Structure 1
Amino acid sequence: MKEFFSLLFLALSSIAFSQEKLVKVNGHSFNIYLKGFEQRKANSPVIIFENGMGMGLGNWDSIIDEMAKITPVFAYDRSGVGKSEKVFQLPTPKLVSENLKAILTTLNIQPPYVLVGHSMGGLYSRAFAGFYPNDITGLVFIDPADFTESKQEWNSIFRTIGVPEKRIDEMLYNRLYKVSPIDSLNYGPWSEAQVLGALRRTDFAEISSLPVPNVPIYFFIGGKFEVPLELRSKDFDQEKFFTVRTNINIERWKKFIYSSNKGGSLIYLSKSGHFVHRDDAKAVIGNLKIMLESLNN
């Protein structure tokens, strides 16, 4: 009889840790997805996925279940995105980090964590790692919103490709200072865009002031230019801009990797676009496995 109840408990635990559900934290409901926790060993890493701007956790469906075969995985929708409750509060890096920490604590998902962030999620992952460096055992950025850039460096790219100074100033204003009407219907994605703009105006001062945990750091970079011809800028060669910016980003991200003595990798995938993990899931999965194996050595 005792053996029966032990098996029943394991079965129920498996169900509880392999599902999508709502969790209430700090007075608000968050949609989460868990898988692979029923076989978690002590001190084994959990992969924490951070979605891109305005994206739901379904964006990880190309890799998340495969990774769950190796180590437990956790994904969630930030406030106002996907199935999570809309909250009329700017999702600053600090607030998002505090919410994520509270969710993990509520669910008793103990560190260590490998953070995997795509696009805006890369920025939020960098922030969480800075606020809770002792919780982190690995950092993975998939074509992230560049939290290392500055306004001066951004403008220098346009100078390199021959854009006149007056037009550079106009484009910078439109990118960072032009007021965007509040979109209450799509407040989650809209508010994340406002936060990104505010961080860019300060050259990401809030992020760069945070410590970098001494862990392996991986960057995945998509080298495919995806903007259709009819949607390209009439002011400058957008494809050339993409190439120059990518090369500059690579150099800065290499320096960021060297900020940790644990090493890391910069994986450039020429046939992948911004959604690297969807365009080349095998490459992302394979390299994540390499990182996880290195953590066990």
Structure 2
Amino acid sequence: MKAILTLCLFSLSFASFGQEKMVEVNGHNYNILVQGLEKRKANSPVIIFENGMGVDLGNWKKIIRQVSTFAPVFAYDRAGIGKSDKIFKMPTVKFVAESLHDILKKLNIAPPYILVGHSLGGVYVRSYAGFYPEEISGLVFIDPADFTETKNDWNDIFRKMGLSEKKIDEMLCNRLYQPNQKVDSLNFGPWSERRVLTELRKTDFAEISSLPLPAVPLLFFVGGKFEVPVAQRSKDYDQEVFFHVKNSANMERWRKLIHSTGKPGVLLYLTNAGHYIHFDDPASIVDNMRILINRVDR
């Protein structure tokens, strides 16, 4: 009987934690999850989670509960993702930053913030930090889409692999300059986020590089496990070699970015984890975020 009661209490606790709610901001409903704000100390940071491309806040299910034991947390679905309302407006970095800012203001969740972004979410948190640098205490990037990358950086990967310039030009064209595809109104959220990332790559992320980077600790987690199945690999080049060369180039730029802040930072390369590091090695994410909180919350 005692074991059954314990199990029931655990289930109720988990359900309470996982409870999401809708909040209306600027005439649209956003799905959010907040935990631990009632225990927040004055001026201590709130950890804000930004999902990857087309992914809802369930993306954080393996770490958010543990993180909430040492810091208040906030997660949400961007417009057109998960349970949030669809908005037929391109999710530019400015639009997403302003929308998140308005949501946090509506909920009376005041800064400072530590922003955590996975994949495309890394692009969005870097942008938010540029638009609102005074609100940021730290930035955590989990295998982010590389907002420091230029088209020449991308081409250099293939040059190192010995591909011809003609082939490199063809692949770059296929990656960025395909004729405009028909708008996918049914899946507008994920479709539009992909389009925004493509447009940013065309300009070498000029909009983001023009934004200030606050002098705060930066944490980068890089997945070192190559996961593309053989049947899905490129026929034009060795995709596994490409993966490792690209990771090395990215990490060199990110190392310089960490040093540029003048603050302590982390660049962690995890050979046991793929793109979803917070699924493959949640302990590494949680442990380092705990260290970051202890450092900035003094």
TM band (smaller chain): over 0.9
Give the TM-score normalised by structure 2.
0.93
**Cα offset, 1:49, TM superposition:** 0.1
Trace 1:107-126 onto structure 2 (pairs within 5 A).
107-126=107-126
Contact 1:18 1:34 in 2 (8 A): no
Match of 2:190 in 1: 189
Deviations 1:238-258 (A, max 9, x none): 000001000000100001111
Deviations 1:112-159 (A, max 9, x none): 100000000000000000000000000000000000000011001111
Question: How far apart in 2 are the matches of 1:214 and 1:19?
Answer: 35
Trace 1:126-165 onto structure 2 (pairs within 5 A).
126-165=126-165
What amino acid does structure 2 have at the position aligned with 1:227? V
Deviations 1:67-125 (A, max 9, x none): 01111000000000000000110000000000000000000000010000000000000
Match of 2:201 in 1: 200
Q: What is the Cα-based RMSD across aligned positions, in Å?
A: 1.3
Question: How far apart in 2 are the matches of 1:67 and 1:244?
Answer: 32
Deviations 1:13-67 (A, max 9, x none): xx99984111111111111000111111111110000000000000000000110
**Cα offset, 1:180, TM superposition:** 2.2
**Cα offset, 1:171, TM superposition:** 1.0
| Range moving further from structure 2, 23-32 or 92-101 | 23-32
**Cα offset, 1:181, TM superposition:** 2.0
Question: How far apart in 2 are the matches of 1:275 and 1:103?
Answer: 26
Question: How far apart in 2 are the matches of 1:28 and 1:96?
Answer: 13
Question: How far apart in 2 are the matches of 1:291 and 1:181?
Answer: 44
Trace 1:35-54 onto structure 2 (pairs within 5 A).
35-54=35-54
Match of 1:4 in 2: none
Contact 2:222 2:267 in 1 (8 A): yes
**4+ aligned runs moved over 4 Å, structure 1:** 15-18
Contact 2:17 2:65 in 1 (8 A): no
Question: How far apart in 2 are the matches of 1:260 and 1:139?
Answer: 11
Question: How far apart in 2 are the matches of 1:202 and 1:98?
Answer: 22
Question: How far apart in 2 are the matches of 1:130 and 1:101?
Answer: 13
What amino acid does structure 1 have at the position aligned with 2:213? V
Question: Paired residues, what number?
Answer: 283
Match of 2:269 in 1: 268
Identity %: 60
Contact 2:45 2:297 in 1 (8 A): no
Trace 1:37-116 onto structure 2 (pairs within 5 A).
37-116=37-116
| Range moving further from structure 2, 285-294 or 157-166 | 157-166
Match of 1:286 in 2: 287
Question: How far apart in 1 are the matches of 2:25 and 2:214?
Answer: 26
Contact 2:57 2:76 in 1 (8 A): yes
Structure-2 change in CA distance of 1:182 and 1:42 (3 Å): same
SS where residue 258 of structure 1 aligns? helix
Question: How far apart in 2 are the matches of 1:32 and 1:108?
Answer: 14
SS where residue 31 of structure 1 aligns? strand
Match of 1:256 in 2: 257
Question: How far apart in 2 are the matches of 1:143 and 1:221?
Answer: 5
Match of 2:21 in 1: 21
Deviations 1:161-204 (A, max 9, x none): 01222221111111111122211110000000000000000000
Question: How far apart in 2 are the matches of 1:282 and 1:17?
Answer: 19
Question: How far apart in 2 are the matches of 1:182 and 1:83?
Answer: 21
**Cα offset, 1:296, TM superposition:** 2.7
Contact 2:226 2:274 in 1 (8 A): yes
SS where residue 20 of structure 2 aligns? strand
